Amino acid sequence: MFRLCLLIMLSALLSACAMKQPFTDNSQVVPGRVVETLSSSVTLSLRSGEKNISGRGFMVYRRPDQMRLIMLSPFGTTVMEAQLAGERLTLTYPADGVAYQGQIKDLPPATGQRGFAMLRWVLDSEPPTGAPVSGVVEQQTSRGGLEQITIKNGIVLEKSLKSGEQVRYRNHTVLAGVRLPLELQLESAEGDRIRLVLEEPEVNTELEEQMFTVPLQGLRLFPLSQLKAR
Amino acid sequence: MKSLLSLLFVLLMLTAALPVQARSLSPVEGLEALRRSFGTMQDFTADLTQEKQLSIMKKKLVMQGQIRFKKPDRFYMELVPPYSSKVLLKDTVLLQRLGNQGELQRIVLPPEQGLSRWFATLAKPITAVPEGMEVRAEQTGSQTSVTIRPAKGGQLKELTIVLHDDGTVRKLVLEERAGDKTVMTFRKTRKNVGLTDADFRLE
């Protein structure tokens, strides 16, 4: 379960890009404009081994590194909440009355730390400077690994790492002059698959600070290092 | 989490068709009225509007759909686009599908949280408010409101059921301790219409 949460967080962050109108051509794109904020209802599906888990929720994102995601039960109550602020991660499970908070580096290695290590890499869905309009480009990531980027008509369709992680960007459209995908498909090195779909997204609207604050009252707070697979 | 889901299932069913008392109710009377009302019902259907107000959202998330229930242990909820999903509960087995083509998710609840177990419990008269629970009941015009505050420490801060004097529930409000709120409004409630197992399929 915890690995799922990490992957969901990762997928949500991946989605820092969304739009309502079907993408037709690059003429709708405003050069240099990027996603500064994003808010959207989302659906998430995970396939991990024999497990299939899916849910609906809501997320907000603000460049460069703030994100909050709420996953809901069929009746609208909160199942899980995740908040990322810089290097600090908070996970809450209201039904269990517990929350975990700490630095990303404090995540137990067996519970998906690598997923968060990938965040910056995944968020960068723009073609590299000087890349061809269509083709495959290889370059060093900021963390030192080698990544392969597949580009078509100026759109990044896929990125992969030598270590096995792969993300596919699908269903591109343009919203507020920004070109971004509505659907992201992530596959971890271990074979877990995540599908994230944005529903009714809004880009570059003003988001208040309180929207990124996770309520912890009434919850027992534990160090992130004590988190176990759920 | 699973126990909360089970509780919510039961609450949804309890609120399908409840007779309104013409007087102020004590906490025990309020709970007992809910229980007795359910005893006369074999099945029901209702249209549902679910509004979710999250602290993370500027606007409400509004979902529309329908719910069905059939004794002793069947529950079905279908939400229509743009937030389409289907949920089917057969006693302890919960099936869920998001969207029209999403993969089927299967969750098995513990036996003590199955629907049949819940309703077996409800067959017994209520003589006291459960320890730690607070109950308020009041009538305003043609509507009666029953508010339940579960024992401290859980996810739910408060549950409010609003009933009309025609014996149907009009609203169910779930308020979480974190401040998030869900409002379910029921319309076109029909009970004892002879639902069959064919009405409880998740293709």
Nearest chain B residue to A52 by CA distance is B105
pLDDT value of position B119: 74
* d(C-alpha B51, C-alpha B109), whole Å: 26
Q: Is position B139 within any domain?
A: yes
Here the tokens at position B59 are 């606007």
Q: Structure tokens of A114?
A: 């690598």
- Could you give the number of structural domains in chain A? 1
List the single residue in B with minimal CA-CA distance to A218.
Answer: B153
CB neighbour list of residue B142: distance below 8 Å, 6 or more residues apart: B20, B164, B165
Burial of A17 (0-12, 13-18, 19+ CB in 10 A): buried
CA distances from B136 to B16, B157, B159, B160, B166 (A): 19, 14, 10, 9, 21
B196 lies in some domain:
no
Distance from chain centroid for Cα B188: 16
Q: Which residues contact A31 (CB under 8 A, 6 or more apart)?
A: none
The chain B residue lying nearest A195, using CA atoms, is B102
Residues 75-104, chain B: which have Cβ within 8 Å of A? 77, 82-83, 85, 87, 96-99, 102-104
Q: Identify the pLDDT of residue B166.
A: 67
Residue span of the structural domain in which B60 resides? 2-188
Looking at residue B200, its pLDDT comes to 94
Q: In terms of residue numbers, what domain contains A150?
A: 2-226
pLDDT tens, residue by residue, B149-177: 887 767 788 888 877 766 667 888 988 88
Instruction: Give chain A's residues under pLDDT 50.
Output: 1-22, 24, 112-113
Stretch B128-143: mean pLDDT: 83
* CATH number reported for the structural domain that contains residue B156 in this entry: 2.50.20.10
- In this structure, is residue B36 part of a structural domain? yes
Q: A53 to chain B nearest CA, in Å?
A: 6
| Cβ-based neighbours of B58, under 8 Å, separated by 6 or more | A39
State residue A30's pLDDT score: 86
Q: What is the mean pLDDT of residues B17-22?
A: 48
Asked if residue B197 belongs to a domain, the reply is no
Coil, helix or strand at residue A219: coil
A209 touches chain B (CB under 8 A): no
CB pair distance less than 8 Å for A79 and B83? no
Q: What is the pLDDT of residue B196?
A: 94
Structure tokens at B179: 């401040």
Q: How far is B65 from chain A (nearest CA, A)?
A: 12
Whether residues B102 and A94 touch (CB distance < 8 A) is answered with no
Mean pLDDT of all residues belonging to chain B: 80
Whether the complex's predicted ipTM is more than 0.90 is answered with no
Domain count, chain B: 1
Placement of tokens 């029209």 in the chain: B100
Q: From the list A55, A92, A200, which residue is nearest B82 (CB)?
A: A200
pTM strictly above 0.90: no
Residue pair A29/A138 in contact by the 8 Å Cβ criterion: no
Q: Do A54 and B77 touch (CB under 8 A)?
A: no
Cα distance between residue B13 and residue B4, in whole Å? 14
pLDDT for the residue B167: 64
CB atoms < 10 A from the CB of A83, how many? 22
- CATH code of A56's domain: 2.50.20.10
Q: What's residue A25's pLDDT?
A: 63
Q: What is the pLDDT of residue B2?
A: 56
Amino acid A230: pLDDT: 64
